[in-house]
Amino acid sequence: MARYINLSNGNLLIGLDAFGQVRDLYFPFVGLENHVDGHYVHRIGVWVDSRFSWIDDGSWQIKINYVSDTMASDIEAVNPHLQLQLNFTDIVYNERDIFVRKLVIKNLDAVSREVRIFFHQEFEIYQSRRGDTAYYDPISKVLIHYKGRRCFLINSVSGNAGFTDYSVGLFNIEGKEGTHKDAEDGILSQNNIEHGLVDSVLGHTFHLSPHQSATIYYWLTAAKLISDCLALNQYVLDKTPQYLLKSTTDFWKAWINRRKFSFFKLPVPVIDMFKKSLLVLRAHTDNRGGVIASGDSDLLKYGRDHYSYVWHRDAAFCIMALDKAGDSTVARRFFEFSNEIITPVGFFMHKYRSDQSLGSSWHPWIKAGHVQYPIQEDETAVTLFALWQHYQLSLDIEFIESIYNSFIKKSADFLSQYRDPQTGLPRPSYDLWEENNGVFTYTSSSVYGALNCAAKFAALLGKTDAQKDYAQAASEIQSGIIKYLYDDKLGYFHKNLGNPVVDSSAFYGILKFGVLEPGDSRLHSAVQTAVTKLSAPPIGGLARYESDWYFRSGPNGPGNPWIITSLWLAQYHIAISKSESDLNPVKDWLNWVVSHSLPSGILPEQLHPESGAPLSATPLCWSHAEFVTTVINYLEKLEELGLCPACVPYK
């Protein structure tokens, strides 16, 4: 199930499902560790008129969105059978590790009724099934779950009164379905402690007149020690939950609007998606610099792993989007993170965890009896490429100087030397899709772009010899791409050396990293071939490459349409536009993306080619990054054409 809402402060990331239930809870790093792990859930239930309903039982009509311009939820759930309406506003407090829910419950009936609300919690602390403890603390009147140096405290109030009922128990172990079943008769047993695989429930009781409402504030604090959780709980009580809600929403409104973009005739849904995309990107950014691909852990149900890792490719594209939108602080943290973990040889490994440790991988160190680097070389290249953009926006020459030898020179030396002496192209590595080993057009293009940036850095710091070396290496790669990867007869760039498959990343790499000018006839021909071969009717959009197998939905068509590849086509149209009318296809693509987002504005990795349903990780941060980049490129083009003199605030 997709994550419709993502809330974070850079330490605590919470993902809510289509019903507003907590499905992912990462702490103390964004992306690490997930203490709910996707397959557990924090339920919300209602008892009224001797009937009970969980919010995900199919009887509720649910609308789920973000509060405009904020990282706060706006959820409405109506049950016509129970004649009840629930309205939620949820935040992760931007200053401390606290999750707050405001719930307004309204009696829609014409008679007075007793209504009981239940909040349920399931944890798998440290992502381990054994050894958790949950208990009711009668002194502080809170529920506490803990194991080792991880603690989660749950509390709630309505008016001046705390929760009136509670219970703690076991779930999915020893034949126990879970303590949430204890709530279904409207009364909790008040069992006060349990260990193992434990869950808990708290409850409030209200007597509501016809059409009367009542408000509950529920919160969860996260810390490494119980004493710290208790201190955070007291902080909420002292400041009040409503203060935390207002403070957080005010912060995000200021954050999202700090750069005054003029959106020049773009429709409101596109502008709204632009802002939501920035918030999704920020939610997946750890305060120590890591940017994870997605917090959606549902992939664990279908595969061996999840997307909650730092892929330097995905992360660099996210950072370029955030940087242009005004978040240079987050960008700098990412480059500091990268500077810390780059290998002595000068490349990044496959992927990392948010604590800088190495992530899982399927790339081998040996192939056909020969030792190889188990890398996707474009990840190193695009990070260096993104650093140059960061410098152009920040002009922070002292930061660049501080990481020149440790990151810029180290990575550029590797990229310039790890090449085939005959072709001038990079030696084989794994492609950006992580599937095949070879010499790829996209990877070669990214290395070309990165070495040009390295030459600019060297020139900036007066390192003349290095500037010449990097520029020469880039020139040789450019020549090699044209000579060995472009097919004059077929009119497109091959996916990789010796493989004439049409791959959307090939034309995009040529465009993005400046191998050819946008108006070059070879690039135009390559784009037209990609459109012909990779379009995915009836939904539309562009597949990654011919016969793409990943999450493939059927035998027909080239593969599923991806958001990023479709937006690459829009970016090409921006690059070649010479008038406002030339930009019409761009607006069509932006509207197409909006129309295939979740109701809350979340973008998936890919779409089912017939139904348009989201597939794979949802959200995928790279999808949101490309949307932001496409909108900004569009505005920059308008300014370049003289149609909007103040479209972008940093020009």
Say whether pTM exceeds 0.85.
yes
Is residue 300 scored above 60 in pLDDT?
A: no
For residue 303, the model assigns a pLDDT of 60
SS3 445: helix
- C-alpha span between 621 and 271 (Å, rounded): 17
Q: What is the mean pLDDT of residues 505-520?
A: 98
pLDDT at 190 over 60: yes
Please give the pLDDT value at position 321.
98
Q: Is 206 helix (H, G, I), strand (E, B) or coil?
A: strand
Q: State the average pLDDT over residues 543-569.
A: 92
pLDDT band at 645 (very low <50, low <70, confident <90, very high): confident
Residues of the chain with pLDDT > 90: what percent?
93
Calpha distance 501→574 (Å, rounded) = 26
Q: What angle do CA 44, 615, 504 make, to 5 degrees?
A: 150
Sorting pLDDT into bands at 50, 70 and 90, what band is 555? confident
Using only C-alpha atoms, the chain has a radius of gyration, in whole angstroms, of 26
Q: Work out the average pLDDT over 321-349.
A: 97
- Could you report the per-residue pLDDT of 130-157, keeping only the tens digit for each? 899 999 999 999 999 999 999 999 999 9
Distance CA 518, CA 521 (A): 9
Q: What is the pLDDT of residue 302?
A: 56
Determine the pLDDT at residue 649.
Answer: 84
- Please report the pLDDT score of residue 1 as a whole number: 66
What pLDDT sits at residue 554? 74
- Listed residue (583, 579, 607) closest to 594, CA to CA: 607
- pLDDT of amino acid 129: 80
> Does residue 342 have a pLDDT over 70?
yes
**Would you state the pLDDT for residue 67?**
98
Confidence of residue 646 (pLDDT cuts 50, 70, 90): confident
Phi then psi for residue 2, to 5 deg, are -65, 160
pLDDT, tens digit, 9 for 90 and up, residues 11-53 = 999 999 999 999 999 999 999 999 998 789 999 999 999 999 9
pLDDT tens, 65-89?
999 999 999 999 999 999 999 999 9
Q: Do 222 and 28 touch, CB atoms closer than 8 A?
A: yes
Domains and CATH numbers, the chain: 5-255 (2.70.98.10), 258-640 (1.50.10.10)
Report residue 595's pLDDT band, with 50, 70 and 90 as the boundaries: very high
Q: How many CB atoms lie within 10 A of CB 436?
A: 13
